[in-house]
Amino acid sequence: MTKTNTVLFTGGTHGNELTGVRLIEHWVSLGAQFTRPGISVKGLMTNPKAVLQRVRFVDEDLNRQFALEQQKSGARDFHEGLIATHLTAQIGPQSAAQPDLIVDIHNTTSHMGATLILLANDRFNQQLARFVFNRMPQCNILLEDEKPFEEHVYLCTLGKRGVMIEMGAQPQGVCRAALFKQSIQLLNHIMDFCALWNTGNVGDLPPCKAYRFVENIKFPLNHQGLVDAMVHPSIQDNDFAPLAPGAPAFIDFAGNAIPLDNTNTVYPHFINEAAYQRSHVAFATATTFEW
């Protein structure tokens, strides 16, 4: 069993997602609560310039710069590329300071509540999911294991293990007190788990309901490449609710409902996420399973 002796909380990976930003800004007063016996916990603001400008990123999305081949490619001459190169050297797999666990803190404009995103289907992640769900049953558990951990593009993959939390709905550039409180609770549950994991005292946890990422769904486009429909009102703000085959997913500007071409029930999430509009992504889909 590999212990989790060093944990790094990261905020500001997206500069306008203020739950993590505020936590790291106030780390001196807030960070001590996450300390557990035998575990070193630190906080890091990953993209201060984007935070200062209150934008998601300056040049390119920092949370899409950490695939293994990107880490090997050397310096990249744009703001977030330079940050990624620096972070990889400082805390990445070849660094002596690589954290055992990175927890990257995010917000979404979608109504996803508290969501814990895990990137590997192994015992640590499974037990973490069960532990968090047992302590915080309103938390959604989302597994993105469509590719190996090290092939993901996310900042948290710089750690030996890495997870993300998504807190929503929260507008960009805003910090909502209720979501901030929930994030503190979720982060403390993660730290409680790490302490129990290290001592072998997690216990026999029952399986939990989880969602497994399938794909990103784009808006319908017309022949000019313009968005030709909106998210249907029946699924708007209903993240992780079932979408049956034939049920409306979009509505065009004339009022006609458009179903998703799915043969099985799926669970949309990141519904109408503001940051994904530039890439025409309307939502992501998932299946559900007992984990």
Structure token digits, residue 194 = 């790490």
Please give the residue that has the higher pLDDT: either 125 or 72.
125
Residue that terminates a domain, selected from 199, 222, 243: 199
> Above pLDDT 70, what percent of the chain?
98
Structure token digits, residue 6 = 């060093």
Residue 73 has pLDDT above 70, yes or no: no
Is 114 part of a structural domain of the chain?
Answer: yes
Residue 179 has pLDDT above 80, yes or no: yes
Residues 116 and 10 in one domain: yes
Radius of gyration of the chain (CA): 19
Residue 68 has pLDDT above 80, yes or no: no
Residues 193 and 254 in one domain: no
> Across residues 229-247, what is the average pLDDT?
98
> Across residues 176-198, what is the average pLDDT?
98
Q: Which of 151, 166, 215, 290 is catalytic?
A: 166
Residues 256 and 279 in one domain: yes
Residues 195 and 219 in one domain: no
Is 208 part of a structural domain of the chain?
Answer: no
CB 191 within 8 A of CB 30: no
> Across residues 27-56, what is the average pLDDT?
98
- 139: domain range? 6-199
Residues 141 and 222 in one domain: no
Q: Which residue has 């007992």 as its token pair? A: 290
Residues 176 and 228 in one domain: no
**pLDDT score for 75:** 62
Residues 78 and 193 in one domain: yes
Beta strand 101-107 with 40-45: parallel, antiparallel or unpaired?
unpaired
Eight-class DSSP state of 186: H
Residue 251 sits in a domain whose CATH number is 2.20.25.160
Is 222 part of a structural domain of the chain?
Answer: yes
Residues 75 and 25 in one domain: yes
Is 1 part of a structural domain of the chain?
Answer: no
CB 110 within 8 A of CB 272: yes
Residues 35 and 162 in one domain: yes
Please give the residue that has the higher pLDDT: either 69 or 84.
84
Residues 153 and 246 in one domain: no
Residues 39 and 159 in one domain: yes
- Residues 6 or more apart in contact with residue 268 via CB below 8 angstroms: 217, 235, 238, 239, 240, 241, 243, 249, 283, 284, 285, 286
Which helix (H) or strand (E) is 231 found in, with range?
strand 229-231
Task: Count other Cβ atoms within 10 Å, centred on residue 99.
Answer: 26
> Across residues 215-227, what is the average pLDDT?
97
* Residue 118 main-chain phi, psi, to 5 deg: -115, 150
166: annotated active-site residue? yes
**pLDDT score for 127:** 98
> Across residues 202-215, what is the average pLDDT?
97
- Which residue, 154, 129, 197, 144, is CA-closest to 67? 154
* Helix pair 177-199, 123-135: axis angle to 10 deg: 130
Residues 147 and 267 in one domain: no
Provide the number of structural domains found in the chain.
Answer: 2
Q: What is the pLDDT of residues 88-146, one digit of tens each?
A: 999 999 999 999 999 999 999 999 999 999 999 999 999 999 999 999 999 999 999 99
> Across residues 226-243, what is the average pLDDT?
98
- Which residue, 249, 256, 268, is CA-closest to 211? 268
Residue 74 has pLDDT above 70, yes or no: no
Residue 189 sits in a domain whose CATH number is 3.40.630.10
Chain mean pLDDT for the chain: 96
**pLDDT score for 165:** 98
- C-alpha 274/C-alpha 107 separation (Å) is 11
Residue that terminates a domain, selected from 172, 199, 226: 199
